[in-house]
Every structure is written in C-alpha cells, then in structure tokens.
C-alpha cells in the first residue's frame, strides 16, 4: 500500500510519502464514483471530532493530507506513525502536474468571475496537457445549484478543484456525492486567489516552521482566540497518552 491511515484523537489522518502521491492519485482516478481529497489542518481535525456532516466527510474521505505541524507533533507524542506534512498549494501544483502528465481534465469551481478567469488562464499556461472542461464561480444563488451539479456530472472531469465562495467547503462534494458518477473533488480556499495572483502565498520558510498561523493573525486579529482550541488539543493528547491505548 502507498498510504497508511492512522487515527489521531479519533480522527483519520493518512501517512503518504511524496513519491507515492502520483500512484495514489492515479488509483483514485481509476475508482468509480465520487472521490475526495481533504487538506486537514489542526482546526479541522478538532472540528472533525464532533459528530455531524463534517465528521462524516472526513471519516469517508479517500485521502486525508495533513497541513499543520501540530498534527505531526501529536502523532509523535502518541507514538504513532508520523505523517508527512504538505504545503496545500504545493500539493495542488503536484496533483495538477500528475493530471497534466496523464492528459486528464479539470473543472474549476469557486471565487469571483474575474479571479476564476485569471486563474484558468494561468493554469492553462502552466499545464499545457491538462484540459479545463468547465468552470463556475462561487458565491452563487441557491437557485442555480442543480445546474452546477448537472454540469459537473455531464463533464465528468478527472478533478474538480473548489476554492473560496463555496459555502459548505469540503462538505459540498460530500453531501452531493451520490449525484456524481466519477471525479475527484479537492477544496482549497486560496487556490484560485493564488493562481490569479490576487492572494500571496505563505513563504516556504514560514510554512516549514509552522508559523503560518501568525500570518493569519496579522490579517485577522480575532484568530488569536484559536489559542483556546489549541490548548484543548494539548489536553486531549495528554488524555489519550495516559488513558487510551490502541
């Protein structure tokens, strides 16, 4: 197997080495039905511990890629296999490169019309063998949703890349999974913003240190209150270490 799934405080996390990512993506493409790749942050991990649609979404995801350093530290603390942490935008680039090298197709879903058009142009310029076979902006009225679902169903793209403007985020494809016959779905909020050069990427050095939260706090000071759920994460890890045994 190219991946191993561990459970971290009750939430699944995949251990996948970068050299195995291509094989995993190709295997997902070969599987019938709706597939989903999820980028899992520490905040999403904590959210997934609570029963509900989001928890079901994570439990049923085909590939769960950790993007927070705290997840790796938690796995190490609990003496589990330590996952590989991915920079989400670089992971998107890698996945698109895999699709490009195999002449696959892409559907873009999210952001404003101006942003998605610029993102599409830059994607086409970069990935010459990857066909963009459809697009639809985010922030759409509920009345057109059936048309969007129908368009994706008919197009049957290899990958549907979702970005900002999709209210239900990762849960959007999960809640509608039975309405698609194929396709991998991947949500990354900043995808089209970065591709359109509207949003700046976090510096690689900042990400490698696990300091991207400080950048988020600078843009939104209220995120300082994320310290509270992080402290709860530490407490839960200690509780699992002392009282839970796999």
pLDDT tens per residue across span 32-82: 999 999 999 999 999 999 999 999 999 999 999 999 999 999 999 999 999
* The pLDDT value given to residue 172: 98
Report residue 227 as tokens: 């310290």
User: CA-based angle 71:76:80, to the nearest 5?
Assistant: 100
Assign 93 to helix, strand or coil.
helix
Is the model's pTM score more than 0.85?
yes
**C-alpha to C-alpha distance for 53 and 63, rounded to whole angstroms:** 17
For the chain, the first-to-last Cα distance in angstroms comes to: 21
Cα–Cα distances in Å, from 182 out to 34, 78, 87, 157?
5, 37, 26, 8
Can you name the residues that pair with 40 across neighbouring β-strands?
66
List all residues 6 or more positions away from 230 whose beta carbon is below 8 Å from its beta carbon. Answer: 42, 70
Cα(185)–Cα(205) distance, integer angstroms: 29
At 215 the pLDDT is: 63
Spatial contact of 192 and 163, defined as CB atoms under 8 Å apart: yes
């Amino acid at each position: 197997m190219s991946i191993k799934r561990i459970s971290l405080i009750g939430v699944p996390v995949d251990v996948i080495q970068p050299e195995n990512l291509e094989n995993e993506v190709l295997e997902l493409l070969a599987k019938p039905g709706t597939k989903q790749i999820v980028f899992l942050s520490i905040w999403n991990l904590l959210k997934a511990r609570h029963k509900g649609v989001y928890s079901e979404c994570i439990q049923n995801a085909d590939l769960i890629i950790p993007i927070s350093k705290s997840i790796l530290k938690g796995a190490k603390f609990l003496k589990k296999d330590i996952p590989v942490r991915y920079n989400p935008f670089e992971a998107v680039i890698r996945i698109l490169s895999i699709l490009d090298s195999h002449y696959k197709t892409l559907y873009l879903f999210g952001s404003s019309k101006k942003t998605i058009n610029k993102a599409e142009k830059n994607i086409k310029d970069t990935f010459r063998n990857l066909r963009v076979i459809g697009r639809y902006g985010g922030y759409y009225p509920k009345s057109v949703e059936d048309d969007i679902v129908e368009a994706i169903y008919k197009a049957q793209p290899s990958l549907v890349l979702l970005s900002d403007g999709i209210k239900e985020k990762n849960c959007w494809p999960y809640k509608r999974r039975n309405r698609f016959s194929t396709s991998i779905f991947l949500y990354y909020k900043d995808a089209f913003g970065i591709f359109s050069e509207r949003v700046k990427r976090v510096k690689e050095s900042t990400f490698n240190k696990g300091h991207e939260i400080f950048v988020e706090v600078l843009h939104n000071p209220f995120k300082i209150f994320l310290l509270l759920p992080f402290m709860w994460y530490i407490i839960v890890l200690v509780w699992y270490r002392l009282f839970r045994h796999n």
